[in-house]
Amino acid sequence: MKRVLSFILAFTLTVGLLPIAAFAAVDPQDQEFQDYLQKIGMSEEDFIAYLKDWHDYTLDEFETLDALIEYLGPVLDDENLQELLAEFELTEEEFNQLLEENAATLDQFVFYEDLYFSISDWLYTEELTPITDENLQTLLEDYEFESIEELEAFLNSYDDSIENYEYIEDLEFAIAEHYFMDAKDDLINTLDSFGLSLAEANNLANHLIYIMENPDLDPEQFFTALEEYGTRLMDFPEFDSASDLSAEDIAEFIDIWDGMLTLLDLKVEYYLVKDGVVTPVSFASLMELNSTNGADLMIKILSGNGNLLADMVITKEMFDSEFIEETGENLEDTTDAAEEVKKAAEEVAKAEKKAPAKTVKGGKLPNTASDYLQNTMAGLAMVLLGAFVFRKVKRA
């Protein structure tokens, strides 16, 4: 089975999926929707066309107006435009020149993220590589195709062909896109099973994209480090609670956890919540808990500079003790695939995202707290990787 597809299946089957309930679509005649259009200064016709042209979605694909607004993000204005220019280190003159070079105008952009990712793509200047026998053979090996004929048959099943591609990067992206587009609903459901909203999944994915597009990042070093953490997780002994671990095991677990957070430039905060009282708790303290006495565990994921990216609740029912080893295997399997997808995905122009059904947060954890350790580590690792892969390959 191809490496990329193997990762998808391992990811979705390991975590498990929640059924998607049927939901009502956004009603264009709803007064709240009309008020929103007035607020952003668009007609209904223009908005529907914009949503289709930029995101290839319709109102029917969003459960509520809130979900739609959350998906699109903030409207572009003078203030966040200046923030965007500062982030890309562009003067207004350079920005206008960039628009002109790409046959675009500022008036075409209504939402901040649409302009953000357009600029990101425009500034990406990797030279495309013509397909050769050598790099085609490398691609076959990377995606575990036995022959060119097998690859051609795979593409034919999507009404595609090798003949449609001049550059290896475009062909590579097409392969990744075919795999991941088919699996997008499974990936969405998986993120939903962690209680993540669409905006939170995008926050996590955008954070990783920011890291991966850092010009100072050494991709080989990054993926090597990620693979090493996967190996260390697989080597970790089986356990049902922290009491099964030696002092050395606990120290190793904390070291892996801290290392992953540092690598991904993340901070994680933990809170026990009961009867409206929120009590901070450290990761090390969670390892010592035998019971939460009915409290909820709130997990907040923040960027290294303290911006809240997501909060979630991971329940004991989601994972068993074997999930740690499976997560380690997935981390190792993902490193090469993610690197290949990253290179291919840099060539596409815009993200296509899907709005999942909402999950109510704050579900009760069982009184036994023995699985907090593996749940938080494994959950975060898989959510981050899933969000990253989902976000990158959807840039179509």
| 165 vs 354: which has the higher pLDDT | 165
283 has pLDDT over 70: yes
Give the 3-state secondary structure of residue 17: coil
Hey, what are 341's tokens?
């997808």
Is pLDDT above 50 for 68?
A: yes
Q: 183-240 pLDDT, tens per residue?
A: 555 555 555 655 666 667 667 767 776 777 677 888 778 778 877 877 776 676 665 5
pLDDT at res. 192: 61
- Whether residue 356 contacts residue 177, with contact meaning beta carbons closer than 8 Å, is answered with no
Task: With cut-offs at 50, 70 and 90, classify the pLDDT of residue 99.
Answer: very high
Give the ranges where the chain is alpha helix by DSSP (H): 3-15, 31-40, 44-55, 65-72, 78-88, 92-101, 112-123, 133-142, 148-156, 168-182, 184-193, 198-212, 219-234, 247-263, 283-288, 323-345, 372-393
pLDDT(275) > 70: yes
Q: What is the pLDDT of residues 296-325, one digit of tens each?
A: 777 888 888 888 888 876 544 333 334 334
pLDDT at residue 15 in the model: 31
pLDDT above 50 (res 350):
no
d(C-alpha 237, C-alpha 244), whole Å: 9
Instruction: Evaluate if residue 106 carries a pLDDT over 60.
Output: yes
> Please, which residues bridge with residue 114 across strands?
none
Task: Note the pTM of the prediction, 2 decimals.
Answer: 0.43
User: What is the pLDDT confidence band of residue 149, given thresholds at 50, 70 and 90?
Assistant: very high
What is the rounded CA–CA span in Å between residue 56 and residue 38? 22
Over the stretch 13-39, which tens digit does the pLDDT of each residue have?
A: 333 322 223 334 678 888 999 999 999
- Name beta bridge partners: 298: 271
More confident of the two residues 380 and 166: 166
